[in-house]
Structure formats: C-alpha cells, structure tokens
Amino acid sequence: MEPKEKYEQLIEEQSQELKRELDNYRAMIKSAEILSMPKDDIQKYISNLLENQKTLLLLFPQLISNLQIIKFFWENNALEIEQVTIALNNILTDERVKDCFSNKEKYQLQAKKLESEIKELDEKSLSAKASFILKANITDEEKISILKELAYESCKNATTKEEAKLQTQDKESKEIETLFSEEATVNVNEEELKKLKEEYLKIKDSIESIISKYYYLIKGKDEKYINYNREMAKAIKAQESKDNLNLSALGIDEFQYKDISMTVLLLDMLETKQELELQLNNTNTTLEDINDYFNILKEDYNKAIALDSILTEEKIEEEKTTNEIYFLLDESNSPFFDMDKFSKEEKKRSLSLVEKFEKGIHDHEKGKKHTKLQSRRHKFDIYINKSSNMCVSYIRAKDNKVLILTFAHLNNIFDDSNSIAQNYTSLIKNTLKNIESKNALFLEQQEEFTEQFKTIVAIKGDEHK
Amino acid sequence: MIDEKLDSLFLNIKNDCMNLIREKDVSLEEISFALGISSREFISNFQTRIKDFSFYLETYRILMEW
C-alpha cells in the first residue's frame, strides 16, 4: 500500500474510533439527562424513560428487569403501584447509573474534546494531519514520505478546505357459538334410545367418580374464575368445530397447567352430563342430539382419565422425600454454577437450600418458595426452590433422590435451568442413569465434589456470621 | 370470530389480573416464580396473547388466592 493510502486508511480508522467513543459519551450524557429529569409529572418522566430505553439498555443492560416492570405497569395504566417506585429506585440507585450521574460534567468535557478532534481530522487540517502522522504507528520512512506529500498538497491547494459536518444520529426506539345448531328431526327409535341409556348407565358412576375427585378445583371458587373457565371450554369447542388449520388457542390436553385443563374439562363434563340426562328423559328429543352429547361426554371422560394419571403421578412425586443429593457435573467434573460469583449471604442461602434437601423437605408444590419450571422446550420435570433471591433448580431422580442442576439468582434461574436442560440433555440422562445404577466411579466423583462444595459454601458462609 | 372471542377473553382476564396485582400489591417476580416462569416471560405473555390460555387462568387463580 502506498504511504498516502495507508495514511488515509489510518486517519479514517482513527476518525471512526473517535466517533464511537463520542457516541458512547453522548449516550452517557443523554442517559444522565433522562434519568435526572424532574419527576413531578411521573407519566411524562416514565414515558420519556421508556422512549429512550434502548439507549439506556445499551449502556446499562442490567436495568432490563426493572425497565420491563415499569413498562408492564405503564402499559396497564398502573403507575401508582409501589413496584414501579421500587423498580425506578433500583434503576436510580444502580452503581453504574450513579457513576453516570456524578460523571456527567466529565463526560460533557470529554465529548467536546472528542468533537474537536474529530472535526480536525475530518476537516483534515494540516496541523491535525501532521500531528496524527507523527503519532501514528507507522515507520519513520512512511511518516516522512506522507509529510512530504502533505506539504506539497497543502501548497498546491492552500485556499481549499473541506468542511465536514458532524451528523449525529438519534436512534429512536419504539418497541415492543353457537354449538349444535343442526335442525332437530323428531325421530326417536325406542330400541336405540334404550341401548344408549344402558350404555350411559354403565359409565355414569365412573364419570361421577372423576368429577367428585376433582370437584375441589371448582368448589367455592370465585364466580368470575368459573365463568372464565367455562368461556374457555366454549371457545375450544367452537375452535375444534371449525377449521383446525389455524388454531388460536391450544386444546385442553395441550395446556401446560394441568389443574386448569382439569377445571375446564370438569365444567364441560358437568354441563354436557346435565344436558345429556335432560335429553335422555325428553320425549321430543332426537337420537342424533343424544348421540352428540354422549360422544362429547365420553371424549371428555377419556381426557379426564388421561389427565388424572398425570396429576396423580405429580402428587406422588410431591410426596417423596429424600436425603440423597447429587450435582450435575460436566465432562471435567465442574458444576453448572460458580459459587465464587455469589455473595456470602447468597452462599449461606445456597447451603440452607441443600440442607433442606438433606432433611428430606422438598416443598415443591407450586407456591411462593417452590415451583415447577414450565417449559415446552425440554422433557425434564425441573423444580425450583427459593430462599430469598437465591434459587436452586433440580430434577427428582428415582428412589427419592435429587439431582441439582444449578444455583442462580431469581432473575436468572429460569433461563439458566432451561438452557442446561436443553443443551445437556444427554449429560442429564447419563447422570440419572448413573444415579440409578450406583456407578462406583460416578459416586466417587460426586462425593469428592460434594465435599468441595460444602467446604466452599460452609466456610465462606460462616465468615459472614 | 374465535380470535375476537379469545382476544376479548384475554383482555378481560388481563384487566382482572392487573386489578388483583394492584390491589394486593403482588410483586411480578413472585407471581412469575409461583407460575414457574421468569418475570420476563410473564410480562411478554401479558403483552401479546399466547395460545396456551391455561397460563392466564392459572395466573388469575393464583392471584385470587394470593
């Protein structure tokens, strides 16, 4: 490359570098201005904050959860809720945000300095060029050659100057029934009707038995809640009777929350059963109608039986207790968490979560301190227990044993656990096999790691006391 | 027709959930945890209707009993 070309390239690179630096300072200044605006009109303040959230997140990605909370309540006209104040306070007291506030003047000075440097470079003033060449990382021969050429050009075009205008780009961010309508034809065949009644009587007890088993799901519940579930049942039926190619809602058996599947099904069964019994005793009815109701009831009953086995299995799982704990370790026997990243308090909480397992307390019914991870992305049943903001995710192995996947903060536990379950499916399967077969080498590695884990957590936890 | 019905059902449940969150001052992190999902997923599910309506019904049920 000719010295002049090399120089042009260097100067362009330098200019780009300075512009990137300037953009960063400008974003810092803008963020500080947005966040320090008066809060008398909170609507205006939040609106401005959300309009500029992309700028803020580029600099402070750690603010995403709090910004999402604010955005959620903003969209739902509930800015008065205390969580908005807490989220806003979390943003304003964030260490990096506080640094940004206190350094605003420094950033302004830096930005001015950079603007001037960029202007000089873009205008390619002789002094800026010469100064840049002298500092550039090129050989002395190249420097002399370029300077000579510059001197010549300068003499030749002494009166011409290029003016480069700075263009700032403001990037704006803006995210984020009718059933059974067939005409009745009065045509009841007595024999057929008798046969249907007998058939119904045969399964009536079983239907009533399953209804009674899960009646607690609707007993004493809020009327609105019951109505929503009824509406859901109707919507699903309406959907199933239309074109199945473009389903707007999932069917009951595809619901992730199985108790809800059973609730919707139960309400549907109660209604259909009542209607069927009315039709069976109605002399003006048609066999077609009776058959329709009966078929729907049988279909619902079969779904309820399938759901019952899932829910019963979950209940049995909930009743298990254990004192055997294993950790998911990768090929190099390292866990999927780094205890050193946690504070002493968090280590203490991790230890207490493990100790709870050792005492055989699982508490993994869904609740405020324990939950079951909902995901369609993997086939493992993953449970999460929580102590303050510290969480542990685990899989229940056979014979009441626990396989710990990872420890993480509440904000990360769902993503971290999902990611492990998705990306390390074979490892999890093999580990579960090793637990079941009591593989000697595996048990030895586990014992070694457990000791190591407890030493790190216990000692550092004690220091906190 | 079905979409309209589901949209209206979604909006009604969403409003009721919002009122319960407001009245009971339920933390988004806590309700998400009880549902077994991250708060990011919770927020996103309420921004755009998802196909699995059991999520909304379960949210409403938990909030009622909170």
Task: Render pLDDT for A122-138 as a digit per residue (tens, 0 to 9).
Answer: 766 666 677 777 777 77
Cα separation, A292 vs A297, in Å, equals 9
Residues of B in contact with A366 (CB under 8 A): 34-36, 62
Write the ipTM. Answer: 0.92
Q: Do residue B36 and residue A254 have CB atoms under 8 angstroms apart?
A: no
Q: Assess A72–B contact: CB distance below 8 Å, yes or no.
A: yes
CA dihedral of A10, A16, A21, A27, whole degrees rounded to 10: 180
Q: Which residue has the tokens 């906190």?
A: A464
Backbone angles phi, psi at A395, to 5 degrees: -115, 140
Backbone angles phi, psi at A392, to 5 degrees: -125, 135
Q: Look over chain A and give the mean of its residue pLDDT values, rounded to a whole number.
A: 81
Q: CA A267, CA A16: separation in Å to the nearest integer?
A: 66
Task: Give the C-alpha separation, A460 to A326, whole Å.
Answer: 21
Q: In A, residues 237-256, which contact B (CB 8 Å cutoff)?
A: 238-239, 242, 247-250, 254-256
Q: CA B48, B50, B55: angle at the middle one, nearest 5?
A: 115
* Interface residue A71 vs chain B (CB under 8 A): yes
DSSP-assigned letters across all residues of A418-446 = HHHHHHTHHHHHHHHHHHHHT-HHHHHHH
Contacts of A240 in chain B (CB under 8 A): none
Tokens of B28: 């988004």
For residue A146, pLDDT beyond 80: no
Check whether A237 has a pLDDT greater than 70: yes
| Residue B14 touches partner A, C-beta closer than 8 Å | yes
- Nearest neighbour of A238 by CB, restricted to B2, B12, B34: B2
Would you kindly state where each structural domain of chain A is located, as residue ranges? 3-156, 190-319, 324-464
Adjacent-strand bridge partners of A403: A326, A395
- Asked whether residue A171 carries a pLDDT value surpassing 50, the answer given is no
Match 């927020």 to its residue by tokens. B43
Amino acid at A403: L
Top pLDDT among A55 and A442 is at A442
B7: nearest CA partner in chain A: A248
Residue pair A442/A434 in contact (Cβ under 8 Å)? The answer is yes
A393 by DSSP, 3-state: which? strand
More confident residue, A212 or A14: A212
Q: Which pLDDT tens digit goes with each residue over A182-204?
A: 333 345 577 888 888 888 888 89
Q: Strands A390-397 and A401-409, how do they pair?
A: antiparallel
Q: Average pLDDT in the A248-277 region?
A: 91
Residue of A nearest to B60 (CA): A225
Token pair 């921004």 is found at B47
Please, what is the Cα angle at A84 between A83 and A89, to 5 degrees? 95
User: Least CB-CB distance to A249: which of B29, B47, B51?
Assistant: B51
Option in A247, A368, A372 nearest B36 (CB): A372
Residue in chain B closest to A247 (alpha carbons) equals B51
pLDDT at A382: 92
B11: contact with A, CB 8 A cutoff: no
What's the CA gap between A202 and A213, in Å, rounded? 19
Distance from CA of B21 to the nearest CA of A (A): 9
To the question of pTM greater than 0.90 for the whole model, the response is no
Residue spans of the domains in chain B: they are 2-65
How far off is chain A from B59, nearest CA to CA, in Å? 10
> Given an 8 Å threshold on Cβ–Cβ distance, is B33 in contact with A384?
yes
Those of residues 37-56 in B touching chain A at CB distance below 8 A are: 37-41, 43, 46-47, 51-56
Nearest by CB to A249, which of B6, B28, B46?
B6
% of chain B exceeding 90 in pLDDT: 86
Tell me the pairing of strands A324-327 and A401-409: parallel
Of B9, B37, B64, the CB nearest to A235: B9
A413/B36 Cα distance (integer angstroms) = 10
How many of the other CB atoms lie within 10 Å of CB of A98? Answer: 12
**Tokens 């074109």 correspond to what residue?**
A243
Residue A356 has pLDDT above 90, yes or no: no
Number of H helices, E strands in chain A: 17, 5
